Structure 1
Amino acid sequence: MARKQEPVLMHSISSQPLVFDELAHLAAALDTIGSMNIEMLDGYFTALICGPDIVLPSEYMLEVFGAETSLHVDDQFSDIPSLLRRHWNAIAAELHCTLTEQNAYMPILIERDDGVAPGNDWAHGFVRGVQMRPGSWDHLIHDEDHCGSMMPIMILHYENDFDPQLRPPPIPSEKRDALLEVMISGIANIYHFFEPYRQYECKPAGAHFPQKALAPNIAHGLTHCFEDYSLFFNVVRSLH
């Protein structure tokens, strides 16, 4: 019999969000020995938590630090594993709350010297999380009614791609904040979309799970603010 699952938490570790000093310490460790910065890590963890399949720490942590890195070599990094687990749990707890409350997960976005938070690194991290189980994400990416939640992430991920043909139209400075707002709203929508899949360990072949309709604010933002990107998004979707 199918068993309903709770949010995937790393047990025995608090879900209390990291305070500023802890985030700064984690960010410094990632910059020193990691393969992604704190913003990318946040996007990466968010995708893994949102997705339909469980990815074990033994697998996804290799993407963060690589196979050769040991966090126990230097005392200054000895607390990093627990900080990573707490940050994972905090994201998971906040996303789970969106199922029953009008709430949104606020991602970590690093501001440049000019005060702009581009959001590209967060999108890069999210896409790396998707790529851990790309086949499972096809359910969303190719769903005409719900795929729009991925558009802001794809726009930011490919914005500076080395292949000019994969770059979206330029993002006007006055639209970037709106794009980030739609992306943030879409995170909860993505989490909601995959909730029926996460609830069951065994999914019968051909099973259909009813999905939550696209939130009106997301639909409005995509239709009226980013319609120029629809052709780009369709090209990108064809690659996945």
Structure 2
Amino acid sequence: MLPPLSEKELSRLEDLLITYGNDYSVLNISELDGFFTALASSPATVTPERWLPEVAGGKVPKFKKPAHEEAYTALMLRYASQVAQSLAEDLEGFKPLFEQSETEEGTTIILEEWCFGYMRGTQVAGWRELPPAQDEQLKAISLHGLEDNFELLDAMTSDELQACVPQVTQAACNLYRYQKLQRH
């Protein structure tokens, strides 16, 4: 069992995501957390050979230094393992790594990046159509994770958006639980 990433390692991984990212890649830890949550929640295992290029927007980046490639790959593998392990061992205590913003009213949770990562993960894993109850769960996540819904989100108040936080968290847990039963 690998140790969880430290704050310093998470920061290093995010720096590497930004340095080697492009318009189509995962650019922050919150999006990566959502991506790995969806992969861990998939009915079939998705290998790193399949998902590593997807994190980078379709192909593995050309690294400036071998040390960057080693760090990128090692940290990525450890973080994927960490997310999967936390879901498997403590689903009730699962806390998605949502971005936060400080406002005059206090801390605001930002769902979009995490949800975009989750939806990307469902695509990479090739999720099939879900039964109605689970499809509703996925809609709680896709509301914040698909560009098609930007107008709906723009029409929502801050309070309405914050009310979605526990719904998204619960949806991720419910989908993990459901998909775990579907695994072959």
Same fold (TM over 0.5): yes
Higher-RCO chain (CA-CA 8 Å, sequence separation at least 6): 2
Instruction: Report Cα offsets for 1:9-53 as digits up to 9, x if no partner.
Output: xxxx61x22121111111111011032122111111111110112
Does residue 148 of the first structure (1) align with residue 142 of the second (2)? no
Q: Unaligned regions of 5+ residues in structure 1, if any?
A: 1-12, 201-240
Name the % identity: 24
TM-score (norm 2): 0.83
1:85 matched to 2:85? The reply is: no
With structure 1 as the length reference, what TM-score do the two structures score? 0.65
Task: Report the aligned-residue RMSD.
Answer: 2.3
Which deviates more from structure 2 when the two are superposed, residues 175-184 or residues 106-115?
A: 106-115
Q: Residue type of the partner of 1:18?
A: L
CA distance in 2, matches of 1:26, 1:173: 30
- Map 1:111-190 onto structure 2 (within 5 A): 111-112=100-101, 114=103, 115-134=107-126, 136-138=127-129, 140=130, 143-158=131-146, 161=147, 167-168=151-152, 170-190=155-175
Question: 1:149, CA displacement in angstroms?
Answer: 1.6
Higher strand fraction: Structure 1 or Structure 2? 2
Q: In structure 1, what is the Cα distance between the partners aligned to 2:128 and 2:110?
A: 25
- Runs of 4+ aligned structure 1 residues displaced above 4 Å come to none
Mapped pair 1:107 → 2:101: no
Question: Computing the radius of gyration over CA atoms, which structure comes out larger, 1 or 2?
Answer: 1
Q: What's the counterpart of residue 49 of structure 1? A: 40
For the 8 Å contact 2:31–2:115, the answer to whether it is kept is yes
**Is residue 95 of structure 1 aligned with residue 87 of structure 2?**
yes
Question: Which sections of structure 2, spanning at least 5 residues, go unmatched?
Answer: none
The one-letter code of the counterpart of 1:32 is: T
Q: Distance in 2 between matches of 1:125 and 1:144?
A: 22
Cα distance, 1:155 vs. partner?
A: 1.2
Residues 109 and 165 of structure 2 are in contact (CA less than 8 Å); yes or no, is this contact kept in structure 1? no
Q: Which residue of 2 aligns with 1:62?
A: 53
One-letter amino acid of the structure 2 residue matched with residue 192 of structure 1 = R
The structure whose residues are more often helix, as a share, is: 2
